[in-house]
Structure 1
Amino acid sequence: MNAEYLRDAAMTAVIFGFFGMAWFGWAQEAPPPAARKFLGIGSVAGILLAIGGGLVAWQHWNDGSAITSETGPRFGIIVGVEVAFAAAGSVILTVRKKSAYIAPWIAAVVGIHFIPLATILETPLLFAAGALVTIGAWTSIRIARSRDLTISYVTGATTGSVLLLCALVSLTQALVAY
């Protein structure tokens, strides 16, 4: 599951750690009181993993990367399409007064966009992250309803947990696998 390049593994830890923190933050919209501590710990762990990944990436910034002049534009297009779909879906859900579904919508779009990025970045871990985030997005609605929880809490906690785990795996790879 190693990334092809050390710098890419470290930057994956940065990105997943940062966005893991953000998803744990979104989960704090209306969590059960007992979950607040867990969400706070997840947020702090995410930012620490992001900082750790950033330090490793900085030390290896001139090493190779899967993002080149050839793959960079494809990377940008994939991320641009992701942002456009996430934004458009969020607007549609808001207009239709279904804003409770914005978190799983965005999580699903994020998860799906990891699949093509996995091939560009030569990072198999992104396939697993994509599958888990996407499955988590769609199952979060059912879980939230069956347990009388907010959808944003379940989606945020699930997505944050997947991203946190993947950030940890990426940082570990960057530190020991190269």
Structure 2
Amino acid sequence: MLTDFLRDHYFTTAWFGLMAFVWFGWSQEDPPKRWRPWLGAGSVLGLGFAAGFGVLTATNWDQPTALDGRYGWFGVLVAAEVAAAGVGCLVLARRGASRWMAWWVAVVVAAHFLPLALLLSDLGIAVAGVVQLAALGAVVPRLRTADTTTSRLVGPVMGVVLLVSASIGALTAV
């Protein structure tokens, strides 16, 4: 991560690890058999980053944060993200296109990284979001022709970007 705020750096690294765990887990909904060990390994690594940097976050909670004076905006951003993901999934379900839910949620998550990067004064978060959005756009043609859930490809895309970002966060923390 690319922030001057130690607490935010640790928290973002922990959060990206936790979300890598979640996305690798979602991708295990419908994976090819040969991917399963890799997805499991990604989940374990993500959980390791979440635990290790979660402890560092807790022990540095008294450090300054870029969110000072901006917690309200952070709440608005998170609420907008949850609402957009939820409404989009509801629309997809009603249209009989529920297999696209993972892709939609991933797009919302990646897009929310852009304003989040501004709130946290961390360009690294924006870079992760742009990479995710580009990768999610690139897999659309393949998803359109597949008869599987979109989580099969979307989970690894999101998980890998988040795991790489958490790894970079860990390396820059050292």
Q: TM-score range by the shorter chain?
A: over 0.9
Q: Is the 8 A contact 2:27 2:156 kept in 1?
A: yes
Partner of 1:35: 35
1:37 is aligned with what amino acid? P
1:162 is aligned with what amino acid? V
TM-score computed with the length of structure 2 as normaliser: 0.94
**Correspondences of 1:15-94 after superposition (within 5 Å):** 15-68=15-68, 70-94=69-93
Give the Å deviation of 1:150. Answer: 4.1
Q: Is the 8 A contact 1:105 1:137 kept in 2?
A: no
Partner of 2:105: 106
Q: Is the 8 A contact 2:67 2:120 kept in 1?
A: yes
Partner of 2:156: 157
Give the Å deviation of 1:101. Answer: 0.8
Q: Is the 8 A contact 2:3 2:122 kept in 1?
A: yes
Partners of 1:145 and 1:72 in 2: CA distance: 39
Partner of 1:137: 136
2:73 is aligned with what amino acid? R
Give the Å deviation of 1:59. Answer: 2.1
Partners of 2:140 and 2:150 in 1: CA distance: 6
TM-score computed with the length of structure 1 as normaliser: 0.92
Give the Å deviation of 1:147. Answer: 7.2
Aligned length: 174
Q: CA RMSD in A?
A: 1.5
Give the Å deviation of 1:140. Answer: 2.5
Q: Is the 8 A contact 2:113 2:125 kept in 1?
A: yes
Partner of 1:14: 14
Give the Å deviation of 1:7. Answer: 0.8
Partners of 2:85 and 2:147 in 1: CA distance: 26
User: SS state of the match for residue 30, structure 1?
Assistant: coil
Structure 1 unaligned blocks of 5 or more: none
Partners of 2:158 and 2:11 in 1: CA distance: 18
